[in-house]
Structure 1
Amino acid sequence: MATVLVVDDDAPSREFLRTLLCYGGHQVEQASDGGSALAMAARRPPDVVITDVLMPGLDGYALAHALRGEPATRHIPIVFSTAHFGVQEVRPRADACGVQHVILKPAQPSTILATIDSLLADGRLSVSPAEQVAESQRLTRSGTWEIDLTTDTIVVSAELRDILRLPSTRLTVHELRRRVHPDDVARIATMAETTWCAGSSVATELRVADTAGAVRELIVSCLAAPADASATVSRLWGVAQDVTQIRADARISAQTQVDWHAVRRTIDALHRAVLPSTLPAVAGVDLAALYLPAPERLDIGAGWYDARVVDGGRLLLSVGKVAGHERHPAAVMGHALAVLQAYAHDDPDPAGVLTRLNRFLIENGRDDTFVTAVVALYDPGTGRLRVANGGHPAPVVVTRDGDAGAAALLRTQGPALGVLPDAVFPQRDLSLPANSAFCAYTDGLTDRHGAASVDGRLLRVAAEEFGRLDPDQPAAELLTETIVRGMLGGTAPDDDVCLAVLHVT
């Protein structure tokens, strides 16, 4: 088995070659442009490269020169595959690039297999070329056709006859035209005329009805076959591939993407509608919060942040997340946050709020949904902060240490909400000095694939970013942005991220 690198900006052409060469016993790698192919060949040199000539960016000529210029790839046999040039046009440039063979599209499967086989050691393939061609046409659902222009008679291969369910391998142009979709009839004439006048190969797509009335979508190529030494064209021939299923799958995939984005937009709109549009203004306190969705997932949890002024001019800050599988977390988040806000209005004690919310989730839960949350109550008059944690990532307190920042985790924690009926949520009381910050977040900020020492990295990032800020300026918004940037490194999160910062100014 040889490794063949197929390079072509046309996806159907790559797929045709992949199917054909895989049947021929080879492993196939694909690239849609010369730049990608060059990088792939540098990482793992293939045994053969078959490349289109005209491609955007790095074309086939430039790719061949680049491969010949590197010691690791200069020995690789290269085949040019082109539909835009004749052999006489492309051969001089192929020789200049050190390219051994040129194949004109569309090529007979047997020609492709024989060309690749000739570049490899003898005896690699034990199956006869005729058997290979027959099986490759079966797998790729392709067949050949030929038309005699003097009699308007078309002869198709047995494979193409079976694809179109024709009663015979011989039919007239009139019979074929009756089966072609009316909007595609003009393409047949244009294809034949172009081949007749220019002598170059042409490919187009046609919709043809088989004898059962089913419409088959075909990619059809057309070439001229000289009849005698005077090169008078009397026959046209080509290859037709049935791409009905490929096109149907592509349409389904496109519709799936449309549906996916519609659902995602609905979820995001619901999520953002629940989050507060503005944060309260409290003297001596600078507040900021950020929500960042994971862009490529529907099964994300629903994280929230919330801040509101409660009895006595105090500030209640909460950050939480809903998890579960039977109901989408976004559907639960609005209820959980509304209940939390109602309990906080009645009595903003953090442990009491979590205890009552836990009881509500236990009594009303009918599935595997649970909630984690941090609730913090800050008194600007005294600088005292009271924090309770229900199964949530430990919040961070950042302070000044000379000209640098210092960060510590508040590890006091109770269980997740909605799991244990008699759960207890211990509280932590501390004093927030001037120019310090309290940061609460969801685990989307820290849970990264392949990331290690999460707690240590978050503390380091928070301390470094806080130390860079002007101690005489409000820092919450800038600290929020820099912590997220430092933790994610400019990449999209694996899960949605909420981060809220309370900065004592």
Structure 2
Amino acid sequence: MATVLVVDDDAPSREFMRTLLSYRGHRVEQAPDGDRALAMAALCPPDVVITDVLMPGLDGYALARALRGEPATRHIPIVFSTAHYGAQEIQPLAQACGVHDVILKPAQPSMVLATIDSLLVDDQITVSAVEQVVETQRVTGAGTWEFDPATDTIVVSPVLREALGLPSARLTVPELMRRLHPEDAARIASMIERTWYAGAPSSAELRVVDADGAVRELIVSCRPTATSRVWGVAQDVTGIRTRSRADSQAQVDWFAVRRTIDAFHSAVLQPALPAVPGAELAAVYLPAPERLDIGSAWYDARAVDQGRVLLSVGKVAGHDRHPAAVMSHALAALQAYAHDDPDPVGVLTRLNRFLAGTGRDDTFVTAVVALFEPDTGRLRFANGGHPAPVVVAPEGEATAAVLLKAAGPALGVLRDAVFPERELELPVGSAFLAYTDGLTDRHSDPSSVDGKHLLKVAAQAFNRLDPDQPVAEFLAEAIVRDMLGGAAPDDDICLTVLHA
């Protein structure tokens, strides 16, 4: 019946598709990766491509874009098959790649067959033109009307009669005028007059009262006929306009809430980082543009006794309370404990007990707290369930970037949790990076979650420092820019750089 190319690096998944589709009568070709699939499609284009999303080498995204880029394969329907994304996550990505449909693993056989069948339907429509017109009018809420000047009557189609709740399909002009909104009576008269004398089609928007007294909004077209009458189409757009106004108001409300959250979060964060001799500080915070659950991340740096600097970066996770409110709550407590004693382990331990004792839902916090002594280069830090910090340092002509993997549990979960301390020397010229997982957990780059991509980006940014720009500021801006690659963030991004 059709040739289906199944692309998946998992052999059992390919075999499942082969067995199922072969039983339906399709011819199935298999490829273990995108590179092989692209070569097979170029040699003999299939009727449909079913491809896994995350694969080594050429992944599903790149395969879809490559197929769409070639004239011989751009018409082929493509289906994503994935176990790593939810429906709401994968649908926008699929649409951006020109993918027709998505199958979520583990897939139901009936769903797979229905998806393939929908992509292979014959283009020939067998329903008669009259039936198509009737059904189109029913679905769109549109109907036809005809005005006879000789009898001063208007005849409407059954669909339009039903939509307006008219007692008869025939009504006189005075009867119509009684149903028209007073401000629109002159508009329809002018429209018909222009069409009658100029012979040109015209249209207008009118408001009509139906049999129940409700106002219906119509788009009415008007054109002359060969029988000295005026004919047109009227579409009931009341529902469309109502939803449009509701959507517009919802958008206004959304932006109002968003501005409030942004203003609150900006007021909580430091407007400027302190100047500490022997240390240079910079921070970048970017909220996810399409979300209201923003404000979960923070950065904080403050000078403490003996010329030292205390740095913290954290994030709130959970669903029951707004993260911005919890973030300000946690940050205020952390700042109070740090003012009392800036020891990183002590600060995290006390903050954890506070959150565990006051929490009443599934909310928890992750944070890194670091204490740096510019005079000695000594840096001590403790990590509570947060992404591992990074140290970038020049080594001769090369640059080394390493993850500092030493962490205790997230804060607010276990009251008596222990947070190990790690100590290192931060050589002059090196940099310490603390960040939130929004920097590495990218939907467009799932492989970056392990932090290796960040190490590469940080080292490359360090190798092209701008002599006219402060090092910490340059690194913070360059790393965030290069990690995003021109895309908007999927989650709040916070990156703080401490340059020795």
TM-score bracket, normalised by the shorter chain, equals 0.7 to 0.9
Q: What is the Cα deviation at residue 132 of structure 1?
A: 3.3
Q: 1:273 to 1:216 in 2, by over 3 A?
A: same
Match of 1:481, as an amino acid?
E
Matches of 2:173 and 2:467, distance apart in 1: 85
Rate the CA distance shift 1:221–1:434 in 2: closer, same or farther, 3 A. same
SS of residue in 1 equivalent to 2:490: coil
Q: Name the SS for the 2:456 alignment partner.
A: helix
* 8 Å CA contact 1:207, 1:217 repeated in 2: yes
Contact 1:476 1:502 in 2 (8 A): yes
CA distance in 2, matches of 1:254, 1:474: 44
- Tell me the residue number matched to 1:480: 476
CA 1:471 to 1:430, structure 2 compared with 1: closer, same or farther past 3 Å? Answer: farther
Query: Within the alignment, does 1:284 sit opposite 2:278 as a pair?
Result: yes
User: Residues 72, 190 of structure 1: CA spacing in aligned structure 2 closer, same or farther, 3 A cutoff?
Assistant: farther
2:208 pairs with 1:237: no
Does the Cα contact within 8 Å between 1:357 and 1:417 map onto a contact in 2?
A: yes
More moved, 237-246 vs 134-143: 134-143
- Contact 1:301–1:495 at 8 Å: present in 2 too? no
State the match for 2:323 in structure 1: 329
The aligned counterpart of 1:310 is 304
SS at match of 2:207: strand
- What residue is the counterpart of 2:356 in the other structure? 362
Counterpart Cα distance in 1 of 2:123 and 2:276: 83
Unaligned runs of 5+ in 1: 1-43, 45-69, 74-121, 228-233
Contact 1:207 1:216 in 2 (8 A): yes
Task: Decide whether aligned partners of structure 1 residues 402 and 470 sit closer, same or farther in structure 2, where only a CA change above 3 A counts.
Answer: farther
Separation (CA, whole Å) in 1 of partners of 2:209 and 2:291: 41
In the other structure, the counterpart of 1:60 is none
Bigger mean CA offset, 186-195 vs 332-341: 186-195
Deviation, 1:468, is 1.3
Alignment check: 8 A CA contact 2:441 2:448 kept: no
State the Cα deviation string for residues 14-44 of structure 1 (Å, max 9, x = none).
xxxxxxxxxxxxxxxxxxxxxxxxxxxxxx9
Query: Structure 2, unaligned stretches of length 5 or more?
Result: 1-44, 46-70, 75-121
The alignment yields a C-alpha RMSD, in angstroms, of 2.1
Worse-superposed segment, 143-152 or 342-351 = 143-152
Distance in structure 1 (CA, Å) of the matches to 2:471 and 2:343: 27
Instruction: State the partner residue of 1:216.
Output: 216
String of CA shifts for 1:224-282, please: whole Å, max 9, x gaps.
0122xxxxxx3101111111111111111111111111111111111111100111111
Find the counterpart in structure 1 of residue 78 from structure 2. Answer: none
In 2, the alpha carbon distance for the partners of 1:280 and 1:71 equals: 60
2-structure distance, mates of 1:426, 1:328: 30
Task: Verify: 1:344 aligned to 2:338, yes or no.
Answer: yes
Aligned match of 1:457: 453
Matched, 1:382 2:366: no
Match of residue 425 from structure 1: 419
**How much does 1:473 deviate?**
6.8
CA distance in 2, matches of 1:235, 1:418: 78
> SS of the residue aligned with 1:397?
strand
Displacement of 1:301 after TM fit? 5.8
Q: In structure 1, what is the equivalent of residue 462 of structure 2?
A: 466
Worse-superposed segment, 138-147 or 436-445: 138-147
User: Quick one: which amino acid aligns to residue 416 of structure 2?
Assistant: D
Indicate whether 1:399 and 2:393 are aligned: yes
* 8 Å contact kept, 1:474–1:503: no
Greater C-alpha radius of gyration: 1
The SS at the match of 1:495 is coil
**Does the aligned pair in 1 maintain the 2:281–2:472 contact within 8 Å?**
yes
1:124-157 CA-to-partner distances (Å, cap 9, x unmatched) read: 5554443333332222212111111123211111
Do 2:466 and 2:474's aligned partners in 1 also have CA atoms closer than 8 Å? no
Runs of 4+ in 1 over 6 A off after TM superposition: 70-73
Measure how far apart 1:410 and its partner are: 0.7
Q: Distance between the aligned counterparts of 2:132 and 2:477, measured in 1? A: 60
Match of 1:47 in 2: none
Q: Which residue is equivalent to 2:144?
A: 144
Superposed, which structure 2 residues align to 1:250-261 within 5 Å?
250-261=244-255
2: CA distance, partners of 1:140 / 1:465: 56
How many residue pairs were aligned? 382
The residue type equivalent to 2:170 in the other structure is R
TM-score (norm 1): 0.73
Taking the aligned partners of 1:172 and 1:269, their CA distance within structure 2 comes to 60
Range 197-206 or range 141-150, more displaced = 197-206
CA distance in 2, matches of 1:197, 1:341: 80
Q: Report the residue type matching 1:499 in the other structure.
A: L
Contact 1:301 1:323 survives alignment (8 Å)? no
2:16 maps to which residue? none
1:374 alignment partner AA: V
1:170-223 deviation digits (Å, cap 9, x = unpaired): 111121112111222222122112212332211221110012111111111101
Hey, what does 2:41 align to over in structure 1? none
- Given that 1:404 and 1:468 are in contact with CA atoms closer than 8 Å, whether structure 2 keeps it comes out as no
